[in-house]
Amino acid sequence: MSLDGSWLRHPTCIANEEGERQIACAISYAGEQVYIGNGAKPHLVKNGKNTIMGFRNLLGHTYDEVDHTAILTAPLIPESKTPAYTVDILLPAPKPASNPRSAAASGAATPNPAALEPIPSTKTITVPEVTSLFLSTLLTSATDFLGVKPTACVVSAPTWFTPAQTDALREAAEAAGIHVIQVLDEAAAVLVGYRAGNAGEEEKGDKRVVVLDMGETSLGVSVVQVSQGEYTVLAKGRDDKLGGREFDNLLLKHFAKEFTKKTKVPLDLPCGENASAADKRADAKLVLAVEHTKRSLSASSGAATCAVESLKDGMDLSSSINRLRFDGLASGVYRQVGAKLTEIVQSAGLDLAQIDEVLLAGASTLFPGLQQHLSLLVPPTTPVTAAIDPSQVIAIGCALQALHLSTLEDGLKVEDVLATAKQTAEVTSAPIGIVLPGQDSEELAAIVVDSGAPLPVRRRVAIPVSSAGKFGFELWEGKHEVKVEKVERPPIEKDEEDEEEDEDEEEEDEEIKTAITKKVKALDGVSVEAKGEGKILLEVIVQRGGGLEVKAWQEGHEDSADKFEA
């Protein structure tokens, strides 16, 4: 995207020449043709050995470091240090040489029919070259849409990318003619994208956010501490075998059974390596139809249809599935996603009750059933957010970041900003909050500075007062905990037969978890003489190294502030 267009202040995900906004990361060689993007996906089954997918994740790796069991397309060349593929291609036939005698007799050369046939050959292409080829098509689409070539771009990389992989992605983009000013972490891109008001808009307050990114082939989960626009990753993890492809396989199995039930023609999908040619053709046809079915299930509450002409043995498939039935089929995948979410949150030393928001990214998170399942795992006050199309939010976040970097002062270089951003920041180790006079609770009344806030940090809170007088506050260091309360389930009326069957079973009490912050250590206190009704402002500054400065005053009377340093 261009950095100097005013329309970028309202970013949108543009469509390519075919009207597609989500481009599959796939390339397929078929004879003399090269299919890039969504057009390559149908070749996965019928031309799998010449179809390449998932290549971005192999950047920066050697052949020995790659998980070969996760590669479902063209195999890698064992002899190559840098992962590379060999694919079959057809080279254009050379121009026929003219025959002087034939030309003299008839005035034109007689072509040799055999010389006009394309020549079978092979092509070796490395992972960086495949990535550059794919990115060059995106650059061409953006240039055609804008009318000018973008001057600079921000590209995204998964949170789990190593520095070597990030550098390899940058180099591949530069080789494609893309000037990269930043490789943005995908979790950060999601956070920026969901805060799409103005580029560089700061997040208000401190919170813990989970970014759940589920694409076609993998699931990524990041736990991020957000402190007024500064992001610190607390934990991250991924599952390379859990993605949208699982939903594809569920639908393939479902419609294959429906087809066999109606036509009596045996069809077992998804097909394995030893499947017949007829089953492979049926698999390829049904994969394309299932794509449309998935989109309908995620966008509409009604039934989604699936129709394929001559699926196998000349028999047609015409069936439908409603959302309730699909959620039943996908419940196992939903549980796996929830289990991975819980695992990563726990690895950060947190409980799901301590998460303030879950942000969704990736086209596979569009299913309402998955969103509902995730919302049941977190407290009712924790939103599961998909306000922006999850399949587009990363691109929107990159566009906003590009706009932000383009507005930097002329004297400030982008490289200087990026170097500063890469430095590891000191953060607060424990939350700091206030205790009100006469408070008997073991919990803090309010948190002023949360744990994980990058240092130095300044926070200010306003406390309303209704009359004149002296008001005091204690400042405490706290500790985050989860309070678990067991609530007895209401008895269920049963008849005598049910009571006999369930007499040995005991109803477990329901657990309600609440995130709390307990008092641990008193730091000091401040008092303010209020002149009348108004607001008392309390300001806490934590310096690098742990220096603490606290100041309190009534709004409009800062000259009479009470303060202390520790």
pLDDT at 419 over 80: no
Average pLDDT of span 516-521: 89
pLDDT at 350 over 50: yes
Look at the domain 427-488+511-565 and name its fold.
Substrate Binding Domain Of DNAk; Chain A, domain 1 (2.60.34)
pLDDT (tens digit per residue) in 74-121: 888 887 788 899 999 888 877 766 555 555 555 555 555 555 788 888
Binned at pLDDT 50, 70 and 90, residue 508 comes out as low
pLDDT (tens digit per residue) in 386-396: 888 899 999 99
Instruction: List all residues 6 or more positions away from 358 whose beta carbon is below 8 Å from its beta carbon.
Output: 209, 210, 212, 341, 374, 378, 382, 383, 384, 385
Contact 83, 126 (CB under 8 A): yes
Which pLDDT belongs to residue 413? 47
Highest mean pLDDT among 92-96, 505-509, 529-533, 556-560: 529-533
Q: Print the SS3 string covering 19-31.
A: CCCCCCCEEEEEC
Threshold 0.85, pTM exceeds: no
pLDDT (tens digit per residue) in 233-266: 889 999 988 998 899 999 999 999 999 999 999 9
Which pLDDT belongs to residue 9? 54
CA distance 282 to 256: 9
pLDDT (tens digit per residue) in 28-58: 999 889 999 888 887 876 788 899 988 988 8
Average pLDDT of span 373-396: 91
Instruction: List all residues 6 or more positions away from 501 whose beta carbon is below 8 Å from its beta carbon.
Output: none
pLDDT at 522 over 80: yes
Average pLDDT of span 495-500: 55
Average pLDDT of span 210-237: 88
Q: What is the CA radius of gyration of the chain?
A: 30
Domain range 244-327, CATH architecture? Alpha-Beta Complex (3.90)
Average pLDDT of span 472-480: 89
pLDDT at 172 over 90: yes
pLDDT at 133 over 90: yes
Which pLDDT belongs to residue 69? 66
Question: What percent of the chain is modeled with pLDDT above 90?
Answer: 36
Which pLDDT belongs to residue 495? 56
Map out the domains of the chain as residue ranges: 244-327, 427-488+511-565
pLDDT at 336 over 90: yes
Which pLDDT belongs to residue 410? 47
Q: Which helix (H) or strand (E) holds 172?
A: helix 163-175
Give phi and psi for 365, each to the nearest 5: -90, 5
Which pLDDT belongs to residue 199? 35
Which pLDDT belongs to residue 257? 95
Average pLDDT of span 329-337: 96
pLDDT (tens digit per residue) in 540-566: 989 888 888 888 888 887 777 766 666
Q: How distant, in Å, are the alpha carbons of 56, 401, 486, 500 from that of 16?
A: 20, 22, 54, 65
Contact 96, 115 (CB under 8 A): yes
CA distance 336 to 345: 14
pLDDT at 284 over 70: yes
Helices (H), 9-162: 43-46, 100-106, 127-146
Which pLDDT belongs to residue 177? 94
Give the chain's mean pLDDT. Answer: 83
Binned at pLDDT 50, 70 and 90, residue 149 comes out as very high
Which pLDDT belongs to residue 323? 93
Average pLDDT of span 403-409: 76
Q: How distant, in Å, are the alpha carbons of 155, 156, 254, 255 from that of 286?
A: 33, 32, 11, 9
Other CB atoms within a 10 A radius of the CB of residue 188 amount to: 22
